[in-house]
Amino acid sequence: MQSTTGSVFRVRGGNPISGRVRPQGNKNEALPLLAACLLTDEEVVLNNIPPIEDVLLMQEILRSLGATVEEVQSGQPTRIRVHAKNDPTGDLPAELATQLRGSVTLAGPMLARNGRVFMPRPGGDRIGRRRMDTHILALQALGANVKTFPDGYELHCEQLRGADILLDEASVTATENAVCAASLADGETIIRNAASEPHVQGLCRLLNSMGAKIEGIGSNILKINGVEKLKGAPHRIGPDYLEVGSFIALAAVTGGELLIEDADLENLRMIRLVFSRLGIETRAEGDALLVPADQNLDIVTDLGGAVPRIDDAPWPGFPADMTSVAVVTASQCNGTVLIHEKMFESRLFFTDRLISMGARIVLCDPHRALVMGPSPMTGAVVSSPDIRAGMAMLIAALCAQGESTIQNITQIDRGFSRIDERLRELGADITREN
């Protein structure tokens, strides 16, 4: 892992992004899988784990709790072995957990293994309020007692017991916490309004390989029959469909032809549908996805010529984490589209950086942006506020004329492994400088 503190990207736009690329493992699957390794005293082997900042930070948290984390294969793909032979010791380290939103997924495994956990308030992207209520309510339903403190939450229980739980929102991480805790609870648990994203499905498949009994994977109702003990198991993390979507946008707005290998086409159905409404064609070629060169980029209006809308939704809807990329992509397309980001009230504030580069965007309110394209972009000095906005600004810089400087690139490195090196291999003019 290279240090990114104080580093910037220098980008000269105008080069087509072309060639072949293989997406990294799914970051949002890797984090809860690492947490789930604490549910057993046997070894768990995780394949295709992305060597990115957030994942490496999660590994450090596991080590601080007494687990052994070893890299048994480096490069792409990366394989690691995790062994929590002894019960995790101590509280979650606040100095690490408060940097990482994904640290919240340790609550369910720690509670199930130890009967107690102190969970510091998690960190991560500053994109708006991110509720902890659903996590707490689900774990309380399973028998946890909860005390709230200014710096976090203390949970403890004598014995977790199965329950019929209706989540008040289809929260991904709350579903993951509840599934992990219920796997070792006494009796049957039903989780209704469960999240069903591919990374939730991946976690459930790992748990079943470890001996859990989970039914309904991929649906919004999960049934879990608790078991006394879980064992070790191997698991391969699926490709990161958010990175695939970012590469589709990169190729389309720069005019390049890109073949994305091992793309997991089944999980790209809505992303491909939304991009098609922006005039972007993609073609399946076996397990790969081809983005042809020189797209027409004509936005498809709604019936009667009405302005179309792209809005995010729980799976299988358009992922919230793709809305930033959709905004910058739409700015290079012919026509007008309304982007409606329903989940986080601060995510769209990054659009002022795009406007400074020449994009024609009206931020209607914290959740809606009207994008009118195409807008010629020019290089500028911008800063990355979060992972997804950072990638959006990188896309803007690569299709802009002139040089751009992107600051605070540690945000991009949190979610995308060696992105500058991989983009150079595809024709980008990008350097990392201190």
Catalytic center residues: 125
Residues 90 and 22: beta-carbon distance below 8 Å: no
Cβ atoms of 300 and 306 within 8 Å: the answer is: no
What is the Rg, in whole angstroms, of the alpha carbon atoms belonging to the chain? 22
Q: Is residue 393 a contact partner of residue 354, using CB atoms and an 8 Å limit?
A: yes
Question: Phi and psi for 344 in degrees, rounded to 5?
Answer: -125, 125
Q: Are 234 and 37 in contact (CB under 8 A)?
A: no
Residue keyed to tokens 């294969």: 73
Q: Are 199 and 172 in contact (CB under 8 A)?
A: yes
Output helix, strand, coil percentages for the chain, rounded to the nearest 5: 35, 25, 40
* Residues 6 or more apart whose Cβ sits within 8 Å of residue 190: 163, 164, 165, 221, 222, 223, 224
Q: Give which of 268, 242, 246, 176 is closest to 214, Cα–Cα.
A: 176
Q: Classify the C-alpha dihedral 287-291-293-298 as positive or negative.
A: positive
CA dist 167 to 4, 43, 254, 337, Å?
Answer: 38, 32, 42, 33
The answer to whether 347 and 369 have CB atoms below 8 angstroms apart is: no
Cis peptide before 122 (omega within 30 of 0): no
CA within 13 Å, CB half, 256: 25
CA dist 234 → 33, 34, 57, 67 (Å): 11, 12, 21, 17
- One DSSP character per residue, 55-73 reads HHHHHHHHHHTT-EEEEEE
Tokens standing for residue 59: 């590994």
**Residue that the structure tokens 């369910």 belong to:** 108
